[in-house]
Amino acid sequence: MRRIGNVLMAAGAVVGVTTGLAVLGDVHIPGVGSWLVAVAVAKLGFIAAFTLIAAGAAATRMAARQESKSRDVSLPQAPGNEHQRELPAAGLPDAQLRRREPIPDERPR
C-alpha cells in the first residue's frame, strides 16, 4: 500500500509539473482553438495532479496506520500490568446524574 501511495504522489507531481511547464511555455494544444478551452484543460491538469497527490497521501497514511496497529498488537504485555482493569466509558453512569435547577430569569418582566 505504501508503494502505491508513493507512486500516486510521484505521478501527481509529474502531472502538475508538466502542466505548469506547458502553461508557462505557452504550449498550444492541437485541436484546441480557443484560449478559454486551453485554460480549462490546464485547470483539469492541475486538479488531476492534486487529486493524485491527495490519493497517494491517503494511501501512504493508511499503510502507516496499518503498520502501527500490527506492531502494537504484536508487542508483549509488560510484566506487572496484569492487575490493571479496563477504564470505564467516558461520562457518568445514569445513577450519578443529578437534575439541574432551572435558571431564574434575570430580567424583570
Q: Read off the pLDDT of residues 45-87 as tens digits, 9 standing for 90 and up.
A: 999 999 999 999 999 999 988 888 777 655 555 566 555 555 5
Q: Name the residue with cell 488531476.
A: 48
Whether 46 is covered by a domain: the verdict is yes
Whether 57 is covered by a domain: the verdict is yes
At residue 82, the pLDDT reads 57
Whether 18 is covered by a domain: the verdict is yes
Whether 95 is covered by a domain: the verdict is no
Whether 31 is covered by a domain: the verdict is yes
Q: How many domains does the chain have?
A: 1
Whether 6 is covered by a domain: the verdict is yes
pLDDT at 94 over 70: no
Q: What is the pTM of this model?
A: 0.59
Whether 97 is covered by a domain: the verdict is no
At residue 44, the pLDDT reads 94
The range of the structural domain enclosing residue 7 comes to 2-72
